[in-house]
A and B are shown apart, each in its own frame.
Chain A
């Protein structure tokens, strides 16, 4: 019932003592007027000892209208006023019967003080963090055993899936990673030259770029980018499959989600991330070289020979060694969070967010651990 039926808003008119008649459209479309007029019935009716409500002039009645009329009748009856509905159109009788007033007793919602809730939340999230860690380790174990199984039965491995995931994770991320790293390399070079010039040591900027980019920035930026781009995609894919019972369908076919869905994705990440890191390193150096040439008057030939003196193969290797571990962390967190999705769309959103936040955090923590490790072994 839309705007045009509002030509006849619901109305209550008094027709003598103990008698009133209703007219107009008693429908939900009347919105607030419906409740206001129902209130009028109660107010006018409460002066009488008995009341007859004439419904003949009601032009439209829906369940909402029937409900408020019944409710008013009930309120009056409770105040010991007898109420009778009169001249009801036959087609509305069924409606009034269907919408007969009844008390609904929704299960009581239990409320607790806010501070209590906050403490409970805090406690739950601390326990949840430990639980997450525990689950993560268990999941890693499961994943490794899946890999061992796949290694023993290579026929079971889905190579086509692996290749297609490498394409979507690796190849398709390359342009954005190249772009970001060229920019970051350029910025580091510009800042390095600008700050070191004051000491007359602008050529040291090349050392800065080389070491910083190859050891840390290249792999870190790539991992963060992939966590945001591909980790979230993996969580969303697996999460929505969980929501639509596709994971259960796999399980009852005797297939494991780990083997079919997760292993190919995580392995694809593990293969793709070192390659992407290499691409990132090269792009950042290129960005640095261009800026050094244009802004610091260091020609590309000079840049390369300075770079050669500044870095060793190990500088480059340190960055690349980290990449597969980063990939593993991103992949496992993404898959685990995907599998933790529950039935609702909100839950999926939450899991994707949590997956991205957790994996970026873990990537940075892991990078720190590696820095400590390499310092300890003097590499």
Chain B
């Protein structure tokens, strides 16, 4: 319980009310015989950036998809903005879905549309605004995520892997959502791009009051922008809280993750940085 309390006080530093935006309780998800989530619990507070870590194939993407309602759940409950998505009628569900933006692990851009049209897709469907403003906003989003303007008229198959990530983020941000789901946003970006990306997320978080659920393997992102970190192993959240609590955790997987060859290098610099 101490971990959760610590987490609360931590989020209260960034946000006063500490309102829970995503509440997952006793979630069970499986494919066939295999259970991927086994009575999993998770809270995400308003205004925080939650970093979600876990080994490959542990189910981070599946949890994200379950929260988004893309994977059927066997038991348990998921509440977003205090509402159970599955219990909502279509109109309210639509309203709920307009409040979040999603960046899929593989981008999932519409292959038949240009980058600009991809970004305008949600605007066109949900809002009545002039084509001129839509064009300008799409361009703004394209610049915001660090793409060059001439990428606007390219099709997804003409983009590099990193450009796909950025274009997909631009689309996720199209409606200025309150809640952003990012599945490995910085994988495939060069270190400079990844750092810019982190900065962008943190700017958006502060100015828009954005809540971010970010699946990541990027230790730098965890150190620089995540308010809290949750770790997934064996179908459960084995720890959640500020990074420093997880760094001190005795759990073997967390130890290997943060104090292994790669993690260790960064953790030591992080430690130096904290002590100074």
Contacts and interface: CB of A to CB of B under 8 A. Distances in A.
A243 B141 CA distance: 27
B209 interface: yes
Which of B99, B157, B176 is the most central at the interface, judged by chain A CB atoms within 10 Å of its CB?
B176
B21 interface: no
B207 A345 contact: no
Interface string B203-217: 100111100000000
Contacts of A343: 111, 155-158
B176 A62 contact: yes
B144 A63 contact: yes
Nearest to B158: A343
A93 B127 CA distance: 25
B275 to A, nearest CB: 30
B89 interface: no
A62 B98 CA distance: 14
Contact of B152 (A68, A106, A346): A106
Contact of B137 (A63, A94, A105, A243): A63
Contact of B176 (A63, A92, A93): A63
Contact of A31 (B95, B127, B140): B127
B50 interface: no
Contacts of A27: 176
Nearest to A66: B207
A344 B207 contact: no
B96 to A, nearest CB: 7
Contact of A32 (B129, B137, B144): B129
B137 A104 contact: no
B203 A98 contact: yes
A61 B207 CA distance: 9
Interface in A21-36: 27-29, 31-32, 34-35
Contacts of B96: 2
Nearest to B202: A94
A175 to B, nearest CB: 30
Given A31-B128, A31-B129, A64-B176, A107 B150 contact: yes
Interface in A161-185: none
A64 B98 CA distance: 15
B143, B175, B203 — most chain A CB neighbours (10 Å): B175
Contacts, number: 94
A107 B155 contact: no
A109 to B, nearest CB: 8
A57 interface: no
Interface in B86-135: 95-96, 98-99, 110-112, 123, 127-130, 133, 135
A91 B178 CA distance: 15
B139 interface: yes
Contacts of A347: 112
Contacts of A102: 143
Interface string A58-86: 00011110011001000000000000000
Contacts of B272: none
Contacts of B5: none
Question: Chain A's interface: helix, strand, loop or mixed, by majority?
Answer: helix
A104 B141 CA distance: 12
Nearest to A32: B128
A61 B157 CA distance: 34
B98 A2 contact: yes
B112 A67 contact: no
Counting contact residues on chain B (CB < 8 A from A), the size range is 35 or more
A329 to B, nearest CB: 30
Contacts of B173: 63
Contact of A104 (B111, B139, B155, B208): B139
A203 B268 CA distance: 97
Nearest to B122: A28
B153 interface: yes
A31 B133 CA distance: 11
Given A62-B176, A63-B140, A91 B207 contact: yes
Contact of B133 (A61, A68, A99): A68
Contact of B149 (A31, A67, A94, A105): A105
Nearest to B99: A2
B177 to A, nearest CB: 8
A95 interface: yes
A3 interface: yes
B112 A99 contact: no
B136 A67 contact: yes
B99 A1 contact: yes
Nearest to B97: A2
Contacts of B136: 67, 71, 104
Contact of B157 (A34, A71, A106, A344): A344
B99 A63 contact: no
Contacts of B156: 343-344
Given A1-B176, A344-B111, A34 B203 contact: no
B111 A99 contact: no
Contacts of A93: 207
A342 interface: yes
B227 to A, nearest CB: 16
Contacts of A64: 129, 133, 137, 176
Given A2-B96, A31-B129, 12 more contacts: A28-B176, A64-B129, A67-B136, A92-B207, A94-B206, A95-B207, A102-B143, A105-B149, A106-B135, A343-B157, A344-B112, A344-B155
Interface of B: 95-96, 98-99, 110-112, 123, 127-130, 133, 135-137, 139-141, 143-144, 149-150, 152-153, 155-158, 173, 175-176, 178, 203, 206-209
The 8 A-B residue pairs with the shortest CB-CB distance, nearest first, are A343-B157, A62-B176, A95-B207, A344-B111, A346-B112, A104-B139, A2-B95, A94-B207
24 contacts: A1-B98, A1-B175, A1-B176, A1-B178, A2-B95, A28-B129, A31-B129, A32-B128, A62-B176, A63-B144, A63-B176, A63-B208, A64-B133, A67-B137, A94-B207, A98-B203, A104-B135, A104-B139, A105-B149, A106-B139, A343-B157, A343-B158, A344-B157, A345-B111
